[in-house]
Amino acid sequence: MRRQAGVQEVAAGGGRVRPAPPSRRAGALAVLLALGTVSLAGWLAALFPGDNLRYDAGWAGKPGRFTAAHCAEQGAGKSSHRLCSGVFDSADGTVTGRQVTLDDARVDVGRPVTLRLRPDGGYAVPGWDNVLFDLGGCFALLGGAGAVVAFVGIAPRGVVVRREVPLSANGRPWAPLIRMGGTLATCCGGAAMVIYPVGFLVMLVRGFS
């Protein structure tokens, strides 16, 4: 019997390579870290892109029409952005003639567009491109959390990830963490990589329409 890099290996008799058993304390800390990472990613996804999704999809906010009276480029180079100022009138008539300035909104002077007034006084421009960007942000956060969870499962010295060693040989919680994190990172990260280009394509089509 010989030990190398935290792995017990039978030298003869066709024994299977098995990782050294992790300590219970390390396993408990890994599970807590994984749960905290996924919880934080879910909270951030719901707080930012998830919250914007409600308005960009037209599910929340006061609907109305915005008509730009003036648009101008501000700044130079990569820091340049387009500001459009005009008036907003809500569909129910409770808000009329409200002066609004939109930053980097895809609007044309004199052409009314639909907006959603947020409770905090901000505005959202509903559209499939913005919906896709919001969804992509949610999936990207969850995919990143999955990558962290997988790394937590792989990081301990006693864990072995090799083709000739079954992943289940690492035992709990390491094998489940690797599987869960890898699945989350692959599925959610892959979804984000598909959704973002589709969102850009929809944005381009919308800009030419």
Task: Kindly state the tokens that stand for 5.
Answer: 């890099």
Is a pLDDT exceeding 50 seen at residue 3? no
H helix or E strand, kind and range, residue 123 = strand 123-124
Task: Sort 52 into a burial class: Cβ within 10 Å, 0-12 / 13-18 / 19+.
Answer: buried
Looking at residue 105, what is its pLDDT?
A: 77
Q: What is the pLDDT of residues 17-59, one digit of tens each?
A: 555 567 788 889 999 999 999 999 999 999 999 999 999 999 9
Is a pLDDT exceeding 90 seen at residue 160? no
Q: Which of 150, 139, 131 is nearest to 194 (CA)?
A: 139
Percent of the chain clearing pLDDT 90 (strictly above) = 55
In residues, how long is the chain? 209
Q: What is the residue extent of each domain of the chain? A: 24-52+129-208, 59-124
Q: What is the pLDDT of residues 56-113, one digit of tens each?
A: 999 999 999 999 999 988 877 777 888 999 999 999 999 999 999 888 777 888 899 9
Is a pLDDT exceeding 60 seen at residue 170? yes
Note if the bond before 166 is cis, omega within 30 degrees: no
